[in-house]
Amino acid sequence: SMDNQTSVTEFLLLGFALSPELRLLSFAIFLAIYLFTLLGNMVIIALSQQEASLHTPSHFSFLEICYTSVTVPRLLGDFHHGHRAISFHACITQMYFFFFFGSTEFFLLATMAYDRYLAICHPLRYPVLMDGQACARLAFGSWVSGFLTPFLPTAFISQLPFSGTNHINHFFCDTGPLLRLSTGDTQVANISVFLVSVVVVLSSFLLTLTSYTLIISTICRIPSATGRHKAFSTCTSHLTVVTIFYGTVIFMYVRPGSGRASDMDKMVSIF
């Protein structure tokens, strides 16, 4: 902790309290997962460039590389050499990009759900409705929306005074643990974080839910079991990602009493 009259210039990320042996094992596991994530998404991007209809997955794979790289390299460094200090400006920057890429992921997931809806419910019109220009506009809109979403919460949090303890009970600079360290009035910042989270999550979730409701309705009307299986198999991977991503984010940011940064919150954040 720092003197109560001194402004905090850096924070200490507490991360996970592990023994040296477990830190080494965790480093190896997370490094393997991170490298597999990078390699897998790079392969997807390379393959997507060969087929125009796969450009939306290409955007999603590039986003996954960026989103994962915001937090995991820092976590690997903490596991490897135990240096947990992060400057105030680096902390705010990490928080902004985490929510920039996270919000973009929500919008892209909703876009991909809409894409699946068109492909299954309007297969004959799909090449016209989802041509290259339409894909580019939807992807561009997702990136711009994600870029603008964190501005207000980040601006409010960056202006708060931090002059007490500088220990962040997390493995990255998240809004909840950071707000708990501020010695000023955090009501406006808390409200802005909550409202932005609810708007982004609910708007994309409702679009995704509507798309899948119409998809399931259409699949149920397909006469052959083979046709139903083929139609639904195109959605299973996307639906799995949607379930994991929405479930963990709602638990972290939208549920009552969120932002407490317990050990359970840290584990959920990993997913």
Read off the pLDDT of residues 14-60 as tens digits, 9 standing for 90 and up.
878 777 788 888 899 999 999 999 999 999 888 887 776 565 667 88
What is the average pLDDT value for the chain, to the nearest integer?
A: 84
Give the residue-averaged pLDDT of 74-103: 87
Amino acid 55: pLDDT: 59
Judge whether 150 and 99 are in contact, CB under 8 Å: yes
Closest-CA residue to 174 (of 79, 258, 235): 258
Q: What is the pLDDT, as a whole number, of residue 3?
A: 44
pLDDT at 104: 94
Please write the tens of the pLDDT for every residue from 163-216: 778 888 888 888 888 888 888 888 888 888 888 888 898 889 899 989 888 888
Determine the 3-state secondary structure of 18 from DSSP.
coil
Rounded Cα distance between 167 and 117, Å, is 46
Listed range (104-113, 115-124, 188-197, 218-227) with the worst mean pLDDT: 218-227
Q: How far is CA 207 from the centre of its chain?
A: 17
Tokens of 253: 């940011």
**Which residue, 114, 120, 119, 33, is CA-closest to 79?**
33
**Tokens found for residue 208:** 């995704």
**pLDDT for residue 1:** 40
**What number of helices (H) and strands (E) belong to the chain?**
11, 3
Of 6 and 116, the one with more pLDDT: 116
Q: How far apart are CA 151 and CA 266, in angstroms?
A: 24
The domain locations on the chain are 86-270
Give the three-class secondary structure for 170.
coil
Could you tell me which residue, 93 or 218, shows the higher pLDDT?
93
